[in-house]
Structure 1
Amino acid sequence: MYGIRSVLLGGTAGIAALGTAHAADLPVKKGAPIEYVRVCGAYGAGFFYIPGTDTCLRISGRARFEAGTIPNPDRSRGSGDASQFRGLLRIALDARTQTDYGTLRAFVRAEMASRSGTLLSSATQLRIANSFYATGQDAFSRVQNFVVTEKAFIQFAGLTAGRASSFFDFYAHDYELIGTTGGSDISSTNLLAYTKTFDGGLSATISMEDPAFRRQPVYSPSFTTTGATVGASTFLGIGSNAPAPIILTMNGFDATNAAYLDAVQRSRLPDFVGALRYDAPWGSAQLSAALHETNVGGFLTTAGVGGAAGPGPAATQALLAARGIRSGAQTADGWAVQGGVKVNLPMIAPGDGFYLQGAYAEGAILYTGYTYLTGSYSTNLTPVQGASFNQYVPDAVINPLTGKLDLTKAFTVSAAYLHYWTPQWRSAFFGSYGHVNFSKGTRQAFSLLGTNFPTGTPPNAFTNPAAFALSPVLRDNGQITAGASIIWSPVKDLDIGVEGTYIGTSVLEGRVADATRPGNDANGVPIHTVKRYDATQIRMRVQRDF
């Protein structure tokens, strides 16, 4: 046995030696070098080099839970929700490369959320294609999800191109949780801009921006025929449940006998925005201006809708031409200006700051932010669900006697103060006021058309002045908001807070019919009237940024 083991061990050693000899003759193949992720300190904390490149990348995100309530005693007309919930996630990538022309930057950010309750299931976001909603009987418009390209822009040598915040904006609800005050706040729009930075903290920007995200519809009620309202969805053959993309007036111009006006605004020109900004250790200041086109398409050539006649004869066109209108199609140039200042107040407490901002617009209401709480992209809606009357907030109104666009005027002024009680506890105090004004003559002109317009249009100003005076249609309106918050940050990048807001909406003169208590007397005059609607909203938030 011992002899056999000796032979086997000797043979194994010989084979190993032979293998070693042959291995020495083979080429040596080196392993690929391992490149470890390196920290990039050129652009602040959190950046690292993408392996194999000279590009620095930062990955960040957010997780948020929100819940809130707003009193709503009205359970009719689809109202009644008092609670709201939302869960939100955000993922962002920030890539930067140093070049001979300065920093080349690409920034992308996506947001996804699930929300419920009509207070957080935003109809505004539905109207602008930023969300989709459930279809169940108890979930329709009350359960909503969204996936949004919130940011996607490139910055290079002073250029900014892509989806970004409007350069018109300044305060943009910086200190608020809910974001109820007036003031422009378009977090995402498509734009191409150039910024020139001067010595001393001064910069100037000229920006070409997407008009779709700043457009309030032109007011022009749907028409009626044979006693029934005929919406644009019927006219276009889309289906009775489809939202009406076109609103028409029937026989709307008594002075011209024209019918069927296409009031949809087309994207014909971009908005042009200019901003002058100054940044210094004490704070910052900005002056912004914008040009915004409002337009209508003109008279439709199709006749026979609901048995009604088509456009008027040549004499009608002649009357329109005398008013400077060609086939009904026309354009009006809206505009807006905004000024704001932010003051840092470290002498009170580190991190303290104060904003003051004001905006004015004609034919460009969204630049004032007046509709931010109530809702945008609609000619009229209630300030909160179940309110007693509608606010009217179109960019312009088609005068039914002249056929011309009458631009709407609006302004807002807002202020906000942030105070740190301790490094872990802070509070914000904020408020705003704004109002919208319409041409008085335009409102009276609508009342002359009587039954050609749907329920809610002002009754005739001359044959029934009492009913006309109580109609909310195209009434000047104002809104005041005021609120405060308390936020606890026990550790870095974690916020746990609650915010309460008061919202007061009113007509600026007289009273209007109370939509929650309908009823007229024998003369068609509303029995129940109101002048203002007051509401409060409370929302809490738990948020982690990383």
Structure 2
Amino acid sequence: MNLKSIMLGAAAAAAAVTGAQAADLPVAPEPVDYVRVCDAFGARFFYIPGTETCLRVGGRVRVDFYFNDFGDKPNNWNRAGNGTSTRARGYLYLDARTNTEYGLVRAYTTMIMTRDSGGASGFDLDKAFIQFGNFTFGRAGSQYDFYTGNAYGQVGKNWSDTNSWVAAYTAAFGNGVSATISLEDGTYRRVGTGFAGHRYPDLVAALTVDQGWGSAKIMAALHEARLANASSKSKMGYGIGAGVTIKLPSLGKDDTISFQAQYADGALSYAMGEIDGAQDVVFNAATRATRTSKAWSLSGGLYHSWTDTLASGLDVSYGDVDAPFAGTDFSRWSVSGNLMWTPVAGLEFGAELGYANVDFSARGRKDKDELAAMFRVQRTF
């Protein structure tokens, strides 16, 4: 064996040993994005890994047991009705927010899944909207609405409380003062039957004050009322209202009292939540006249904390509907009160009793009383 062969063999052996040692070395791990807490928008937000978007994931489970209307007979306690019923409902909340050079960019969704007595089930996209700076687009609470109650609301109230598709702009003037103008889907606001196709969105405007003492709002809306009957005339309905909520720290840390007044002409849902047979606009074939229905309502409520874990909500409302051509005029008042116990944060046990009375002006239509109660267990997280 010559010197060249010895040198080649030694080089091969060294290469083999080096390769084996390299194979034994640990592989560098891939970078890991850890979840970080985001405190820019309050509690429970975290950064979506790899982004500057903060996300809050929340939910609610609600379990209700109802004692359905046991007021005037016939009522739900007759042989054909369900005197008691149950509901299980689940909520999913998603709230994504990002601060940008244009302002806040936010996407918010509320999904509701429900199972009622007898197997009836449903899914509702309660809210789904995008905020870009001062703009809001999507399904959200109407920019007209203000006070929507402290009690659970098994018995319906007499005020405006509607989700709608909105395209809104809000201008903030400082010191808690803001103004909003909004285009909203008018089909969510129709009351009655026999309408023609939808043409124009509702125009809503509001001025809001939100300060340490409480909040107040003045609101107005325009709504097209248009029947399918070609002989009828289109009417421009409207609604106006004002409300105030005052904080009462001397009574309790979360105590408030609220007052609200609303009026509507040709747009009943801007003043009333419960409509017994009336509708926005009516056509009289005999006289070939088209007239609007009018309504007004007064409402208010009180929220009181008895202790750190015990609280009550009270709602009172009165509404009056003046329909054309007689026959469907009525007045309605309602009152609901509850007692809520929160033994630990996010867990609530509550009981409520509600009463409503409808007084019809037409002869032959009997007034009716509605009396109902409920028990609720709710966990919010």
The TM-score normalised by the length of structure 1 is 0.64
Matching residue's letter, 1:404: A
Q: Does 2:379 align with 1:404?
A: no
- 8 Å contact 1:173–1:179 — kept in the other structure? no
- 8 Å contact 2:138–2:165 — kept in the other structure? yes
Matching residue's letter, 2:200: L
Equivalences, count: 365
RMSD of the TM alignment (CA)? Answer: 2.3
Q: Does 2:352 align with 1:499?
A: yes
Alignment partner of 1:537 out of 356, 368, 372: 372
Give structure 1 stretches of 5+ with no counterpart: 1-16, 117-138, 219-262, 300-327, 375-390, 444-473, 514-529
Matching residue's letter, 1:396: V
- 8 Å contact 2:156–2:273 — kept in the other structure? no
User: For residues 261-280 of structure 1, what are the structure 2 equivalents within 5 Å?
Assistant: 263-280=194-211
Give structure 2 stretches of 5+ with no counterpart: 1-13
Matching residue's letter, 1:288: M
Distance 1:148 1:19, change over 3 A: farther
Distance 1:54 1:164 in 2: 25
Partner of 1:477: 330
Partner of 1:52: 50
Distance 2:318 2:336 in 1: 12
What are the Cα deviations for residues 359-411 of structure 1, in whole angstroms up to 9, with x where unaligned?
1001111111341xx6xxxxxxxxxxxxxxxx322111102233232100011
Alignment partner of 1:344 out of 244, 247, 253: 247
What are the Cα deviations for residues 112-140 of structure 1, in whole angstroms up to 9, with x where unaligned?
10113xxxxxxxxxxxxxxxxxxxxxx6x
Matching residue's letter, 1:504: N
Name whichever of 107-116 and 172-181 sits farther off: 172-181
Distance 1:179 1:192, change over 3 A: farther
Q: Does 2:18 align with 1:21?
A: yes
Q: Does 2:259 align with 1:356?
A: yes
Distance 1:423 1:35 in 2: 40
Distance 1:170 1:351, change over 3 A: same
- 8 Å contact 1:482–1:503 — kept in the other structure? yes
Q: Going by fraction, where is strand more abundant, 1 or 2? A: 2
SS of the aligned residue for 1:296 comes to coil
User: For residues 301-316 of structure 1, what are the structure 2 equivalents within 5 Å?
Assistant: none
Distance 1:179 1:346, change over 3 A: farther
Q: Does 2:184 align with 1:209?
A: yes
Distance 1:429 1:167, change over 3 A: same
Alignment partner of 1:288 out of 195, 206, 219: 219
Matching residue's letter, 1:267: H
Distance 1:190 1:40 in 2: 30
Partner of 1:173: 149
Distance apart, 1:431 and its partner CA: 0.8
Distance 1:180 1:297, change over 3 A: closer
SS of the aligned residue for 1:432 comes to strand
Distance apart, 1:88 and its partner CA: 0.3
Distance 1:79 1:207, change over 3 A: farther
SS of the aligned residue for 1:110 comes to strand
- 8 Å contact 2:240–2:264 — kept in the other structure? yes
Distance apart, 1:24 and its partner CA: 4.5
Distance apart, 1:81 and its partner CA: 2.2
Distance 2:146 2:212 in 1: 17
Q: Going by fraction, where is helix more abundant, 1 or 2? A: 1
Distance 1:498 1:20 in 2: 79
Which portions of structure 1, spanning 4 or more consecutive aligned residues, are displaced by more than 6 angstroms?
A: 75-78
- 8 Å contact 2:278–2:328 — kept in the other structure? no
Partner of 1:333: 236
SS of the aligned residue for 1:198 comes to strand
Distance apart, 1:92 and its partner CA: 1.0
Q: Does 2:8 align with 1:32?
A: no
Distance apart, 1:428 and its partner CA: 1.4
Distance 1:20 1:363, change over 3 A: farther
SS of the aligned residue for 1:490 comes to strand
Matching residue's letter, 2:135: L
Distance 1:493 1:25 in 2: 56
Distance 1:419 1:348 in 2: 7
Fraction of identical pairs, as percent: 35
Matching residue's letter, 2:54: C
User: For residues 1-400 of structure 1, what are the structure 2 equivalents within 5 Å?
Assistant: 21-24=18-21, 29-69=27-67, 70-71=69-70, 73-74=73-74, 79-116=80-117, 143-178=119-154, 180-186=156-162, 188-218=163-193, 263-299=194-230, 328=231, 330-371=233-274, 391-400=276-285
Distance 2:302 2:151 in 1: 8
Distance 1:49 1:507 in 2: 57
Matching residue's letter, 1:339: A
Partner of 1:431: 316
